[in-house]
Amino acid sequence: MRTDVDSERTASLALLRRTRHATRALLGGLDPEAVVHDDERAWRVRDVVGHLGIWNGEAARSLEAHASGGGYTCIESALYDEYNGAAALERRGWPMDRVWTEYEKTHDRLETAVEAMPADRWDVPARYPWNEWGTVVGLVVLMTEHETADHCDLVKAATTSA
């Protein structure tokens, strides 16, 4: 067993917490109905928060299954658009406080899954929710990049150019 699992776990948790703080600071100050992805999706702030909450929950389920020796797949890799579209449409009818609550709870769940990952499972390849494989650290990095580069950075660009 490696001796640096604790330092990787600490760094992963810190990255998740910094990402959540930055997302709250950016998206929490915007009109939930503002369109921030001005493309065929025309996603609003509420859709972005909902989307992030959904995927944080799926990542947490993946890590929870991995911790117990199993694997979890939410969707096949080719079905992103179908899954994302249906999930976003469902949340459009929710009050914004419910969308934020889901985001917060799933982020908590993801942090808990990282914190509770047994050291002997840390380096064993995990099945990601979109049916690809990688490490626990790799999933944390992908999820934080998804939140920042794939969404929050685009929101910043959309709101500063408006």
CATH number for position 90: 1.20.120.450
Q: List the structure tokens of 25.
A: 């600071």
Q: Is the model's pTM score more than 0.75?
A: yes
What is the pLDDT averaged over residues 100-124? 97
Stronger pLDDT, 161 or 121, i.e. the higher one: 121
Judged against a pLDDT cut of 80, whether residue 76 lies above it is answered with no
Q: List the structure tokens of 106.
A: 């799933």
Judged against a pLDDT cut of 60, whether residue 38 lies above it is answered with yes
CA-wise closest residue to 56 among 87, 95, 25: 87
Q: Give CA angle at 61 (11, 56), nearest 5°.
A: 60
Provide the mean pLDDT of the chain: 88
Stronger pLDDT, 40 or 78, i.e. the higher one: 40
What is the pLDDT averaged over residues 132-142? 95
Quick one: pLDDT band at residue 151, thresholds 50, 70, 90? confident
pLDDT in the model for residue 137: 97
pLDDT in the model for residue 77: 61
CA-to-CA separations, 78 to 1, 65, 83, 84, 137, in angstroms, rounded: 35, 22, 10, 12, 23
Domain assignment of residue 146, given as a range: 5-161
Structural domain total, the chain: 1
Residue identified by tokens 């914004």 is: 96
> HEC string of 14-70?
HHHHHHHHHHHHHHCCCCCCCEEECCCCCEEHHHHHHHHHHHHHHHHHHHHHHHCCC
Stronger pLDDT, 148 or 60, i.e. the higher one: 60
pLDDT in the model for residue 12: 97
71 vs 94: CA distance, rounded Å: 30
What is the pLDDT averaged over residues 13-35? 93
Q: Which of 47-61, 87-101, 106-120 holds the top average pLDDT? A: 106-120
